[in-house]
Amino acid sequence: MSLQQRDKQHLWHPLTQHKIHPDALPIVKAEGALLYDDKGKEYIDGIASWYTAMYGHCNPFILERVSKQMQTLDQIVFAGFTHEPAIELSEKLIEILPDNQEKIFFSDNGSTANEVGIKMALQYHFNKGEKRNTIIAFEDGFHGDTFGAMSASGLSVYNGPFEDFFIDVKRIPTPNKDNFDEVLKSLRHIISTNKVAAFIYEPLVQGANAMHMFEAKYLDRILEICKENTIITIADEVMTGFGKTGKNFASEYMSTQPDIISMSKALTAGFVPMAVTSCTQEIYDAFLDDSVGKAFFHAHTYSANPIACSVAIAGIDLLSSENIQEKISMIIKSHQEFDDRIKEHPRIKTTRRKGVIYALDLDIEMDRYGKKRYEIFDHFMQNGVCLRPLGKTIYILPPYVITKQELDKVYQTIEQLLNQL
């Protein structure tokens, strides 16, 4: 029985309507920017496996670190215990995070990192003697699939059956030069008519919202207003963090820094699941009290897993290296050259880029998960390129280690599609 046949017996895949799309492609090997299926066919991973394997699959530098850690300490409960990998990782993260971040809290994935951030914000006000129960978020944002994170998300394709159970979230549009005054007016109205605890946002790039991008100066003003009203600001850097926007964190493009930052995905380089929620000293101090009830009672069994921490440490070392920084610069320059060549194509409505992220919108009407989307996906896979269109949006977010030749093939495959439409 083939891997594909065995898969169908028991597995339930995410974001999949199995009645329409029953087949999953078996991948048996990955190396660098390349994936290999069970027939030996090669694919360029143009999205770094959902923005995780940024230093390449099975990176030997990380593998060596993981191997050493596995022989020393595999797992230990993090309540009441600590260990060197967690301590070292906290030190390395604080070095590259915005200057106001001081404390590190571990969890399991991007959704839980945001869940932790939302709970921290709500309890911060509770511990201060205030009951604030409203969250502000951007329209069409995505923060994860657990209930708090899902409540803050605005994409109904994911949330539909659960919306009656959500926490109270008020939404504002992402700002631009045309709507900025109205956005600020809406923000101030929400603040004046609700007890707002927090504002959660994806800084500058909304990943699941088809890589929608907006300018730092507008977000900066929104953050200033939140600060003026003691509203905790939560930067969801799960997608944008660790170099993807051209800086270590997208928050660095703003003058006003968040109170809380959530991280995952590239944090552990595609090797193992782990997440971090960082916060300021002020947030942390609000939980210090003689009363046990004011402690933060949130825990994950695998919090600060030593193996995951060792991966993250190795990833930060790579990110800071001259070699990876040169490769990031190469990708940014290549994206710009590709954009200059392609942006006037009659099948393209608009293009945008930030760091190693490049996106274009096709000038056609189609559903996010409709038939045409799957035809475009199949075109890429048949040509040995793994890209996952978000409706009419095609985006590239490659591993930093991708070669110029591999990146050029990704571009060429996109151009072939445009000429066939």
Confidence grade of residue 315 (pLDDT, cut at 50, 70, 90): very high
Q: Which of 265, 294, 319 is the last residue of a domain?
A: 319
Confidence grade of residue 159 (pLDDT, cut at 50, 70, 90): low
Q: Which of 319, 354, 369 is the last residue of a domain?
A: 319
Highest mean pLDDT range out of 101-105, 157-161, 365-369? 101-105
**CB 159: neighbour CB atoms within 10 A?**
15
In this structure, are 328 and 294 located in the same domain? no
In this structure, are 287 and 385 located in the same domain? no
In this structure, are 97 and 45 located in the same domain? no
pLDDT for residue 263: 98
Instruction: Tell me the average pLDDT across 400-407.
Output: 98
In this structure, are 8 and 90 located in the same domain? no
In this structure, are 350 and 266 located in the same domain? no
pLDDT for residue 51: 97
Q: Please, is 99 exposed, middle or buried when counting C-beta atoms within 10 Å of its C-beta (0-12, 13-18, 19+)?
A: exposed
Does some domain include residue 67? no
Q: Taking a C-beta distance cutoff of 8 angstroms, is the pair 380, 386 a contact?
A: yes
CA distances from 399 to 46, 197, 300 (A): 7, 37, 29
pLDDT for residue 151: 83
pLDDT for residue 24: 94
Confidence grade of residue 161 (pLDDT, cut at 50, 70, 90): confident
Confidence grade of residue 180 (pLDDT, cut at 50, 70, 90): very high
In this structure, are 85 and 50 located in the same domain? no
Q: Edge-to-edge, what's the strand order for the sheet holding 348-354?
A: 348-354, 357-362, 393-396
Does some domain include residue 66? no
Q: Taking a C-beta distance cutoff of 8 angstroms, is the pair 225, 191 a contact?
A: yes
pLDDT for residue 250: 98
In this structure, are 337 and 278 located in the same domain? no
Does some domain include residue 65? no
Does some domain include residue 64? no
Q: Taking a C-beta distance cutoff of 8 angstroms, is the pair 254, 175 a contact?
A: no
pLDDT for residue 156: 60
pLDDT in tens, 193-207: 999 999 999 999 999
Confidence grade of residue 166 (pLDDT, cut at 50, 70, 90): confident
Residue span of the structural domain in which 108 resides: 73-319
Mean pLDDT for all residues in the chain: 95
Confidence grade of residue 284 (pLDDT, cut at 50, 70, 90): very high
Does some domain include residue 246? yes
User: Total structural domains in the chain?
Assistant: 2
Identify the CATH number of the domain in which residue 139 sits: 3.40.640.10
Instruction: Tell me the average pLDDT across 11-15.
Output: 92
Burial 231-251 (b: 16+ CB within 10 A, else e): bbbbbbbbbbbbbbbbbbbbb
Phi, psi of 134 (to 5 degrees): -115, 140
In the chain, the percentage of residues whose pLDDT exceeds 70 is 98
pLDDT at residue 369 tops 90? no
In this structure, are 346 and 304 located in the same domain? no
pLDDT in tens, 244-276: 999 999 999 999 999 999 999 999 999 999 999
Does some domain include residue 32? yes
pLDDT at residue 371 tops 90? no
pLDDT for residue 212: 97
pLDDT for residue 323: 98
Q: Which of 319, 350, 374 is the last residue of a domain?
A: 319
pLDDT for residue 289: 95
Number of residues in the chain? 421
In this structure, are 312 and 332 located in the same domain? no
In this structure, are 113 and 179 located in the same domain? yes
With a CB cutoff of 8 Å and minimum separation 6, the contacts of 421 are 347, 362, 364
pLDDT in tens, 61-109: 999 999 999 999 999 999 999 999 999 999 999 999 999 999 999 999 9
In this structure, are 414 and 394 located in the same domain? yes
Confidence grade of residue 158 (pLDDT, cut at 50, 70, 90): low
pLDDT at residue 155 tops 70? no
In this structure, are 223 and 369 located in the same domain? no
Identify the CATH number of the domain in which residue 375 sits: 3.90.1150.10
Q: Pick 335 or 159 by higher pLDDT.
A: 335
pLDDT at residue 131 tops 90? yes
Q: Taking a C-beta distance cutoff of 8 angstroms, is the pair 161, 100 a contact?
A: no
Q: pTM of whole model > 0.75? A: yes
